[in-house]
Structure 1
Amino acid sequence: MRSRPLTRLLTAALCAVGMLGVAGLSACTEAPASTSTKVTLGFSAWPGWFPWQVAQEQGLFAKNGVEVELKYFDSYTDSLNALSTGAIDANSQTLNDTLASVSGGAKQTIVLVNDNSTGNDKIIAREGVTSVADLKGKKVAVEQGAVDHYLLLLALKEANLTEKDIQLVPMLTDAAAAAFVGGQVDAVAAFAPFTTTALTRPGSRAIATSAEFPGAIPDHLVVKADLVKDRPQVVQGLVNTWFATQKWIKDNKDAAIGIMAKRGAVTPDDYKSYDAGTTIFTRQQNLDAFTPGTTPQHLNHQARLIVDFITGTGLAKEKPSLDSLFNDQFVKAVPE
């Protein structure tokens, strides 16, 4: 059993014999764990996270015992920073971006796998650029340090290239897609729904996608580590809501697509085209992913690969600790 710090032991002993006096009485009373059900949840433009909008509009958070301020970020990077600085309690983000945050000292815990990207992250190039190898010397726009920068580096490595072989143009993802359409760059690495924008450029095509790197981009519900410790009932409510939302979407598909397409600022038909590129995880797929293993479906294995990659390429300076990063207790507690 882990022992309590000496100062806490001494305080407990003095409280027991009444030696702290009036000024020390507050030290004799343990602060009760918070029972507040209010939480701020961040999300941004990704098909695997738009179900949170459905949850809000259908009152599913309240039905699962949590009061949620759902905060939409136009910039994915801003959502990462908000969780890292404690401005929000939970966020929707990828494994590699979570690892990058943890390597910088953030205390975060992954409690749910929303989905795997199976094609909705793409490297899209102009006419005449038909492969990743053709990117050598070309201008490529990408949100530096975020998920599609990681995809770009993976694709370059597979083509025996490095970032030094291209002209990297760092931009937020929405601006990067717009710059590509405007002819300012030769290629863009982006995620849906911004891929829809990028592909409006005549002659453009995807030359690599996340489907070619199975398991490399899992998307998660990530919470502040203190939230797990201090208000586990809130975390459970969020996880329960996620699975309740998936059931509602299954039973009300057209209505759900309408809600999610509106949030993504795309047409329902465009949104339907994202289905194959985002694989929403079931409860069992969650449990399988959280189970330690040595294949791409196992989060611990994928995390080790990502850590080696992001440190080796300079996306992170320090190797983050994987201790307590993954917590499957809430998925396990979801009613089957």
Structure 2
Amino acid sequence: MLGVAGLSGCSSSTASSSAKLTIGFSAWPGWIPWQVAADQGLFKKNGLDVELKWFDVYTDSINALATGAIDANSQTLNDTLTSVSGGAKQTVVLVNDNSTGNDKIIAREGINSVGDLKGKKVAVEQGTVDHYLLLLALAEAKLTEKDIELTPMATDAAAAAFVAGKIDAVGAFAPFTTKALERPGSRPIATSAEFPGAIPDHLVFKAEVVKNNPQAVQGMVNTWFETVAWIKANRQQAMDIMSKRGGVSVKEYEDYDSGTSIFTRKQNLDAFTPGTTPQHLNHQARLASDFLMNTGLAKNQPNLDGLFDDTFVKAVKE
């Protein structure tokens, strides 16, 4: 997944931070590079004392940041908006990637299109981006959630239930898509590639950390771009590290290459710039906020003021 955005000449300036940062991440190809940063000593190189905290269940990481149990997390825009709607103070400082195919709606044999899901049992982790993707796909097929039998389930459990034949379709993200596709005759009937920009993934900090320790935040952003450059220069070694952390084979991990677009610094800056197209975060945030409100997943309209901070990406040297 890392062939799409090699970045050279990243800043290697160090950040001075005496405080330890606890950073959450989980099984998504756009976030697993943090393991490379840890293994190659890039956090320390940038003056950081970082504890990487792995979450087997992605939603646990969202809750950990929302409750202040960790300092920052790797999470989607939708999930950040849900937390902000609930009163959490969070700041997006980096776009890791966009999902460009690694989120999929996968159906059993005999279901050939999203329109065929009418009346069928579909499992998805409620409130996540795959739920969002499902609703986008249903809307395009002129259906709504009421036209299917929605079965809320954690993503790993949903993929397992699908393989076991307990449900007709599943919404999942990589690497759980690999598990789901083990079911004979199964196939993707919709993917995030069909909805450009709808699923951006970020490094999100507690707002108080950004305010009180900006040097550490800068160090994290610097580290990310150095990590992407290191991966490009040491691809095989990086693939070994990342596939091991993701619990999949190297070949499986490499198969995710086209489904996750790692963002360059310029793509980051373009995304942070206000606009009205799918590439602009403020535009996607408005659409996602409407989704959360319309589905009842958020009781309050998320406050977007101060949510996006491009200061740290701007400070990275090209």
Q: TM-score range by the shorter chain?
A: over 0.9
CA drift at 1:35: 4.8
* Residue of 213, 218, 232 corresponding to 1:236: 218
Q: Give the counterpart letter for 2:60 in structure 1.
A: D
Q: Give the counterpart letter for 1:295 in structure 2.
A: T
CA drift at 1:277: 0.5
1:245 match: secondary structure: helix
Q: Give the counterpart letter for 2:59 in structure 1.
A: T
The answer to whether the 8 Å contact 2:124/2:170 transfers is yes
Instruction: Give CA deviations for 1:194-220 in whole Å, capped at 9, x if unaligned.
Output: 000000100000000000100000000
Structure 2, unpaired ranges of 5+:
1-15
Q: Give the counterpart letter for 2:305 in structure 1.
A: D
Alignment-derived partner of residue 286 in structure 2: 304
* Residue of 246, 264, 273 corresponding to 1:264: 246
Q: Which has the higher contact order (CA 8 A, sep 6+)?
A: 2
The answer to whether the 8 Å contact 2:17/2:47 transfers is no
Alignment-derived partner of residue 198 in structure 2: 216
Cα distance in 2 between the residues matched to 1:122 and 1:143: 13
Map residues 147-158 of structure 1 onto 2, 5 A cutoff.
Answer: 147-158=129-140
Cα distance in 1 between the residues matched to 2:160 and 2:246: 16
Cα distance in 1 between the residues matched to 2:266 and 2:209: 24
Q: Give the counterpart letter for 1:47 in structure 2.
A: P
Q: Give the counterpart letter for 1:171 in structure 2.
A: M
Q: Give the counterpart letter for 2:167 in structure 1.
A: V
1:127 match: secondary structure: coil
* Residue of 84, 91, 97 corresponding to 1:109: 91
Cα distance in 1 between the residues matched to 2:300 and 2:22: 29
Report the RMSD for the aligned CA atoms in angstroms.
1.0
Identity of aligned residues (%): 77
2:284 match: secondary structure: helix
CA separation of 1:48/1:35 partners in 2, compared to 1, >3 Å: closer, same or farther? closer
Cα distance in 1 between the residues matched to 2:98 and 2:176: 17
CA drift at 1:223: 0.3
Alignment-derived partner of residue 153 in structure 2: 171
Alignment-derived partner of residue 77 in structure 2: 95
The answer to whether the 8 Å contact 2:30/2:260 transfers is yes
Cα distance in 1 between the residues matched to 2:117 and 2:83: 29
The answer to whether the 8 Å contact 1:61/1:241 transfers is yes
Cα distance in 2 between the residues matched to 1:149 and 1:101: 16
1:114 match: secondary structure: strand
Alignment-derived partner of residue 306 in structure 2: 324
Cα distance in 2 between the residues matched to 1:52 and 1:290: 22
Alignment-derived partner of residue 161 in structure 1: 143
The answer to whether the 8 Å contact 1:96/1:147 transfers is yes
User: Could you say which structure has the larger radius of gyration?
Assistant: 1
Cα distance in 2 between the residues matched to 1:101 and 1:185: 29
1:155 match: secondary structure: helix
* Residue of 34, 52, 58 corresponding to 1:52: 34
CA drift at 1:189: 0.1
**Residue 81 in structure 1 maps to residue 55 in structure 2:** no
Instruction: Give CA deviations for 1:243-295 in whole Å, capped at 9, x if unaligned.
Output: 01001000100000111111111111111110110000000100010011111
Alignment-derived partner of residue 6 in structure 2: none
Alignment-derived partner of residue 289 in structure 1: 271
The answer to whether the 8 Å contact 1:122/1:191 transfers is yes
